[in-house]
Amino acid sequence: MTSYSLIKIGNDYVVQVGGQCILKVASRRRAAQLIREAMDLLNAEAAAASRTERPEEPSLRRETPELP
């Protein structure tokens, strides 16, 4: 999971991702909204990727029963 943070520099708010500054906005509310939207998009992408992955085959094969 990516860690987001919001810091204030002067009159602006800076959004950081993993310690790297990526966005500067004037409104704290807008910065928080953008973080929330980014997290929603990343979660949706991860959910879509997990649905498209093919399930793994069982690690053990079922043995054919012997008839008496």
* Structural domain boundaries, residue 9: 4-46
Residue 53 in domain? no
Q: Rounded to two decimals, what is the model's pTM?
A: 0.61
10 within some domain: yes
pLDDT digits (tens, 9 = 90+) for 7-31: 999 999 999 988 899 989 999 999 9
Q: Is residue 68 part of a domain?
A: no
Is 38 strand, coil or helix? helix
The number of domains in the chain is: 1
Helix (H, G, I), strand (E, B) or coil at 11: coil
pLDDT tier, 53 (very low <50, low <70, confident <90, very high otherwise): low
* The residue to which tokens 């997290």 are assigned: 39
